[in-house]
Structure 1
Amino acid sequence: MVKPLGVQLYSVRDRMRSERDKVLTRIAEIGYGAVEPYDPLDDPEGFRRVTADLGLLVPATHASALLGQEPARVLDAVAAIGAGLVIVPAGIPEEDFTTRDGVARAADLLNGLAEQAARYGLRLGYHNHWWEIEPRIDGVHAIEALAGLLAPEVFLEIDTYWATVGGADAPALLRRLGDRVLALHVKDGPGVKGEPHTAVGEGVMPVPDILAAAPGAWRIVELDECATDVVDALARSHAHLAGLEAA
């Protein structure tokens, strides 16, 4: 089955707080077939009803609360949403990615959470920013050192934009990580910290090469901060990515 394009709902977080159902409806109208929530604790049963009614898949959810709350409560909510993948999007100290011992601590934490997630039939993953890319451990990006210490069931969701900002050749990184990568965050922009993102296809990212490097991964559009209206940018992103798939 071809995996449908998805949206990380953090992109529209302000509108989700005030008009969730309307925003989800618009995402479905644009043509997206999947969404990735960022807070599974926010009305998981209601969220599942709305997405099911709209025909939106929910393959994965971010769950930063796993690092700050009782994991069982968070995993119960993820299961209620119906996602099969639960992702730690941040929260591990950035300095842990600057030394081998720190990376080992991060791996131990994620491996332990993965064991708990497995009891719910869920698979745990980790999502990068630039701080897991910039440091090098034994000659490789810290995210690669982390991958080498993770249990086989722990996957990665590679944010291709932050990987590039952190100094990686994103397509080459994806090829090296191989099957460890189950999902991509696809975004675009000027490729520097502190600047807003653009619609996919309107920035500096080598999007076709990135997609070709991880052909089986979920493709999830995220625009953390957008230079234009974010919903319009999501629509342009979808049109660009759909055009690449049709080419």
Structure 2
Amino acid sequence: MALPIASIQLYTLAAEFSADMGGSLDKLAAIGLRNVEAFDFVRRPDEMRAALDAAGLASPTGHAPLLTDALWTPDGSIPTPAPEVVFEAAAKIGMKTVIDPFVAPERWSTLDGVTDIADRMNTLVDTAAGFGLSVGYHNHAQEFVASFDGESAFERFVSLTDSRVAIELDLFWALAGGQDVVALVERLDDRLAAVHVKDGIAPASNPFAPDAPEFSSKSLDQRHAGEGEVPLAESLKAASAVEYAVIEYDNPPGEVFVDIAASFAFLRDGGFVR
């Protein structure tokens, strides 16, 4: 099996990217990255494609809301366009897979809610295919609060979705959700198309639980890959079909490009990516 391709989720450098798109991409290329995972691309696909081409980078995956009318994040809400608008923008950029990055915690609390999320995702598979794309889902920790017959809401969702739906597992958030991360990677098997390579100290309890205090990205204790509690090396070794190993920080611990370079070095020097 071929090693995964290294990538970087652009949310990591959202402020820098918004201030200087071309300069930010040039810095990523200088680090040695050749791929990115786009964020907030739907409103500016032509501009983003031109900047990627100029930097010699590609965006095979990207994050955009597909399953909700308004995307909630710890740092504010983002309005959501129609899926066809998302897919058209993704195709312009040259993506292969559009990944929904977040579905609100309350929708994961009941089996009916989880079934609805899966049904919505399944209806998008063929629509995306019409644009030459596939669709996927990226977790946080809210998907691990509820369980049904001993199975987490997240794994129930996976079981209910079309096998063509890509799963992108955020390894840090899986740990924050109380999961045995390596075992989860093994159970996902060939459904796991991508991972978010993110390290740090997991919160004491799931921050998305109903009784959890409010939090924001800035409250997270995140570290360079290999310097926290997340079993990154073991998870990457256990992954059987991962195509993309995507570096991400929700809360970069230092200067963002230094942080990105450190995590890329972990992947490259450890022999985990190509």
Q: Give the structure-2-normalised TM-score.
A: 0.85
Distance between the aligned counterparts of 1:5 and 1:128, measured in 2? Answer: 19
Contact 2:108 2:153 in 1 (8 A): yes
Picking from 230, 239, 251, the partner of 1:225 is 251
Contact 2:236 2:272 in 1 (8 A): no
Tell me what 1:238 maps to.
264
Tell me what 1:198 maps to.
223
Distance between the aligned counterparts of 2:49 and 2:9, measured in 1? Answer: 15
Q: Which runs of 5+ in 2 are unaligned?
A: 69-79, 208-218
Distance between the aligned counterparts of 1:144 and 1:219, measured in 2? Answer: 21
Tell me what 2:216 maps to.
none
Relative contact order (alpha carbons < 8 A, sep ≥ 6): 1 or 2 greater? 2
Tell me what 1:78 maps to.
90
Moved more, 5-14 or 60-69: 60-69
* Greater per-residue strand proportion: 2
Tell me what 1:210 maps to.
235
* Cα distance per residue 1:70-117 (max 9 Å; x no partner): 221111101001001001111x33122122111101111111222321
* Cα distance per residue 1:21-54 (max 9 Å; x no partner): 1111101111112100111214212222222233
* Greater per-residue helix proportion: 1
Contact 2:190 2:240 in 1 (8 A): no
Picking from 86, 90, 111, the partner of 1:100 is 111
Seen in structure 2, the aligned counterparts of structure 1 residues 191 and 109 have a Cα distance that, compared at 3 Å, is: same
* Cα distance per residue 1:119-157 (max 9 Å; x no partner): 111100011000002321220121110011001211111
Q: 1:111 is aligned with what amino acid?
A: N
Distance between the aligned counterparts of 2:6 and 2:120, measured in 1? Answer: 30
Q: 1:226 is aligned with what amino acid?
A: P
Q: Among the aligned pairs, what percent are the same residue?
A: 35
Q: Does 1:148 align with 2:159?
A: yes
What are the within-5 Å matches in structure 2 for residues 81-160 of structure 1? 81-90=93-102, 92-160=103-171
Seen in structure 2, the aligned counterparts of structure 1 residues 40 and 112 have a Cα distance that, compared at 3 Å, is: same
Q: 2:171 is aligned with what amino acid?
A: T
Seen in structure 2, the aligned counterparts of structure 1 residues 93 and 80 have a Cα distance that, compared at 3 Å, is: same
Tell me what 1:28 maps to.
29
Contact 1:36 1:59 in 2 (8 A): yes
* Cα distance per residue 1:136-180 (max 9 Å; x no partner): 122012111001100121111110100000011111101101111
Contact 2:37 2:60 in 1 (8 A): yes
**Number of equivalences:** 246
Residue 2 of structure 1: CA displacement?
4.4
Q: Give the structure-1-normalised TM-score.
A: 0.94
